[in-house]
């Protein structure tokens, strides 16, 4: 088997960058997708090595941009085997700034639904011809444990990720006939990414003290689980939402 090709959306920093690095360590060729952070994405790709990684711009909410990205990726490395839908659109884990229920708008919900569900649909559809032909096809979504344990009521973000679970399980049901698995990895509040950089120290303390392991989840913790689901050992795992949060929530 040749090198597997992994497309990681939102991979210029934080969790996406950690996932890209981990998959590269496992021997994958990696597409480091970014929307606007070109310099950071190219740095991640350079760290991995130009023979094994390429940074490609695309707003994953835009179907035409995603199709262009996949075509460019396949020209560089060949058919895509692994899709990681990680990109986060315009959201910060800032409890003080989170709109209360009285002030929430449908536009805020829709922005997150498009960033989670629409973006995932765009990427899966663009990569589907390759995934169907792959002997090692994986779709891995990045979720959140907040839908089980809303430490902070991040309404629109959490609702979009909960919708993504249903989306993922339907994908698992339909795509299984082609040998494609579809799973979700739901991390806890991660210490520290760009999105969580504005999170107050008190929230991190509460999360750590409430978890079984008495620690806050790191991007590398989630990346390890993503790497497992992308590996041959996870060939019989599909339709699952696996929570990686040091036992803060338990299924």
Q: What angle do CA 121, 122, 127 make, to 5 degrees?
A: 100
| 19: phi then psi, degrees, rounded to nearest 5 | -65, -45
Q: How many CB atoms lie within 10 A of CB 104?
A: 14
Catalytic residue list contains 157: yes
119-133 and 155-175 are packed helices; what angle lies between their axes, rounded to 10 degrees? 20
Distance (Å, rounded) from C-alpha 167 to C-alpha 231?
Answer: 22
Distance (Å, rounded) from C-alpha 36 to C-alpha 86?
Answer: 15
C-alpha closest to that of 191 among 222, 227, 150, 153 = 222
Distance (Å, rounded) from C-alpha 124 to C-alpha 4?
Answer: 17
Of 34, 109, 154, 157, the catalytic one is 157
Return the H-helix or E-strand segment holding 249: none
**Residue pair 193/19 in contact by the 8 Å Cβ criterion:** no
Which sign does the torsion angle of CA 56, 31, 190, 244 carry?
positive
Return the H-helix or E-strand segment holding 142: strand 138-144
Q: How many CB atoms lie within 10 A of CB 18?
A: 25
* Active-site residue set: 157
């Amino acid at each position: 088997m040749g090198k597997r090709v992994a497309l990681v959306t939102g991979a210029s920093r934080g969790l996406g960058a950690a996932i890209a690095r981990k998959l590269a360590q496992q021997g994958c060729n990696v597409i480091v997708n970014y929307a606007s952070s070109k310099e950071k994405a190219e740095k991640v790709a350079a760290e991995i090595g130009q023979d094994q990684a390429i940074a490609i711009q695309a707003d994953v909410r835009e179907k035409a941009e995603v199709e262009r990205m996949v075509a460019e990726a396949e020209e560089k490395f060949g058919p895509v085997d692994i899709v990681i839908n990680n990109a986060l659109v315009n959201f910060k884990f800032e409890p003080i700034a989170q709109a209360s229920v009285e002030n929430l708008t449908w536009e805020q919900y829709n922005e997150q639904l498009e960033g989670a569900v629409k973006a995932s649909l765009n990427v899966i559809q663009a990569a589907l011809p390759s995934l169907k032909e792959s002997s090692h096809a994986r779709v891995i979504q990045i979720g959140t444990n907040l839908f089980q344990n809303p430490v902070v009521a991040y309404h629109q973000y959490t609702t979009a990720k909960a919708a993504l679970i249903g989306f993922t399980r339907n994908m698992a049901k339909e795509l299984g006939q082609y040998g494609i698995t579809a799973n979700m990895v739901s991390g806890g509040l991660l210490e520290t990414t760009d999105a969580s950089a504005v999170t107050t120290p008190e929230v991190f303390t509460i999360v750590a003290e409430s978890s079984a392991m008495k620690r806050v989840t790191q991007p590398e913790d989630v990346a390890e689980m993503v790497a497992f689901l992308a590996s041959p050992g996870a060939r019989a795992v599909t339709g699952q939402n696996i929570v990686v949060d040091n036992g803060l929530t338990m299924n």
